[in-house]
Chains A and B, each alone.
Chain A
Amino acid sequence: MHNMETREKIQFKPETVAEINRIISQFPQGKQKSALLRILHIAQHEFGNWLSVEVMDYIAEFLNIKPIEVYEVASFYSMYNLNPVGKVVLEVCHTGPCCLVGAEKMIKHIEQTLNIKPGETTSDGMFTLKTVECLGACGYGPMLQIGEDYHEKLTIEKLDNLLNVIKNKNN
């Protein structure tokens, strides 16, 4: 997707660079790699919701570590998207406790409403549906996460409302 032309454009905003330097300074000299996970979150946010190889290479350069050290971390943790995703990612918990209170019904409802399966993105590029494991909201299920926000105690009506609000906001 990215070629050498876009490669040049991969650069953190100045305020992001300041934030990243603040994070790096929390670790001893030479241990800047410890900042990697947080920087990957920031990069994913800044560069369109996913981590391309070019973005990972840029971070490796930034932290003065080998590209493979970034790839192996990015591929280990489930919060990083290694492929493009929709503008809004619906991360629905499908672990046991949430299923006891109806998570599967919510997932099915999203599948039917948006006409996508988990892992897929709507054709307009708006929504991606992702099933995820327990997010620490088991007593407030069913639940889903969008960006940093938790949406808890979901019902079909709440879900419909939420999807409509998002659609309207992005139109």
Chain B
Amino acid sequence: MGRKILLEKTGIENINTYEVYRREGGYSAVEKALKKMTPEEVVEEVKKSGLRGRGGAGFPAGMKWSFIAKPEGVPRYLLCNADESEPGTFKDRFLMEKIPHLLIEGMILSSYALGCNTSYIYIRGEYMWILRILEKALEEARQNGWLGKNILKSGYDLEIYVSPGAGAYICGEETALIESLEGKRGNPRMKPPFPAVKGLWQSPTVVNNVETISSVVSIVNNGGEQYASIGLGKSTGTKLISACGNIRKPGVYEIELGISVEEFLYSDEYCGGINNGKRLKACIPGGSSVPILPHYLVTKTANGEQRLMTYESLADGGFATGSMLGSGGFIVFDEDQCIVRNTWNFSRFYHHESCGQCSPCREGTGWMDKVLKRIEYGKGNMHDIDLLVSISKNIEGNTICPLGDAAAWPVASAIRHFREEFEWHIKEPVKCLETNYGLVKETELEA
């Protein structure tokens, strides 16, 4: 059995309640921090731990915290990103449902470290039932003296609130999240100024993912060095991976960073292999925004080395032959899946979710959606493939926020690795529609 930190206690009955969480040692990290540590010491431990942001970008959490501006008399805010809308990702929800007090304990520690007296959890609107779980848990924490004024007589005050979104992938991007929390449309902001200087209501703000914040509990309890001793190299600690698609055991798993992709995909402890005895066709290892890997690059890198579940190894080979750990949304495709159809599906998603501020993204995502649809329905021509590559290049790097890149990469990587499949859709539309995978054969040639 692999090492568990975040999910260590999720098997305990009623661990979602305050009594059981506390009985099992919960909130001891808050006692330790507030009684024996300065905020700077907490930041120091997080730095030592090497903990990297679990929301997708993998930025070192301790370093992010040390950037927060501290002007006199201006409040600072910690915002927990519980927007979780990257397709393939469903791990934060698991933590919040199973063990809500772990996130709250992590929020108290992180807020203390940053010097925040009010913090918010921004949660996607569709998770309204989890918002209620969190509000109940917050109330329990407040009643037991872990929130409010002068917590544990330390002189430290803190309130934590939960606020919902309402269906917009873009609000997971940190500056769009801030706009949304201000009661506005989720249009990302230009940076600089960075949120660490001017964020929520123009105050210094840190945005961290649910899993990042929850990991702080173990770091404070056991020390940053102990956390750093788990994992491999700069990929320290454990990571939640949400696995889905054509595997035998979809679900949320905690892995020690550094296990092999092969073990994760095929062992019975994790995904249990491809479903229905089929073969692996492709895998998107880090959520819909990261490049797709064809079967021969999933368990091995282009150099023939074993591929590992780490930030570095999954990215090995760069965009040519690698991908990214991203949010840990691990999407597996069996041999029957159509890459063109899936690429079109994701393009439609990004088209739908583009906020519309930047023309390359607004127009480009719509254009890719349209071209991919016509290829999928047998109406494409050979120029369309290069057209898609060119559109994706013109989006990438030319937008205010990374949604443009997130929309461009999946298309570019699908064409890079599965060009023949795109060509086949164009050259043999009738045969393709007859023998294509899934539902397309039941659909009319007319798109």
Q: How far is the CB of A162 from chain B (nearest CB, A)?
A: 18
B244–A139 CB distance below 8 A: yes
Given A37-B183, A148-B129, A77 contacting B167 (CB threshold 8 A): yes
Q: Which of B318-371 contact A (CB under 8 A)?
A: 329, 331, 333, 337, 341-342, 345-346, 349, 352-353, 355
Closest 3 CB pairs of A and B: A77-B166, A139-B250, A78-B167
Say yes or no: is B55 at the interface (Cβ < 8 Å to chain A).
no
Residues of B bordering A, CB below 8 Å: 75, 84-90, 92-93, 118, 124-129, 159, 161, 163-169, 180-186, 201, 242-246, 250-252, 288, 329, 331, 333, 337, 341-342, 345-346, 349, 352-353, 355, 438-439
**Distance in angstroms between the alpha carbons of A96 and B333 in the assembled complex:** 10
Minimal beta-carbon separation of B159 from chain A (angstroms): 8
**B165 and A136 form a contact (CB under 8 A):** no
Tell me whether A135 is interfacial, beta carbon within 8 Å: yes
Q: Are A73 and B184 in contact (CB under 8 A)?
A: yes
- For A68-93 the 0/1 string (1 means CB < 8 A from B) is 01001100111110000000000000
Q: Are A40 and B167 in contact (CB under 8 A)?
A: no
Chain B residue at minimal CB-CB distance from A28: B201
User: Contact: B89 with A100, CB < 8 Å?
Assistant: no
- C-alpha gap A35/B243 in the complex (Å): 34
Binary CB contact string for chain A from 91 to 122 against chain B (1 if under 8 A, 0 otherwise): 00011110111001100100000000000000
Q: How far is the CB of B78 from chain A (nearest CB, A)?
A: 15
A100 to B332, CA, bound (A): 9
Contacts of A166 in B (CB 8 A): none
Partner of A145, one of B126, B168, B329: B126
Min CB distance, B123 to chain A, in Å?
A: 10
Q: Say if the beta carbon of A126 comes within 8 Å of chain B.
A: no
Chain B nearest CB from A31 CB (Å) reads 6
A43 to chain B, nearest CB (A): 12
**A138 in contact with B242 (CB, 8 Å):** yes
* Cα(A94)–Cα(B341), bound, Å: 12
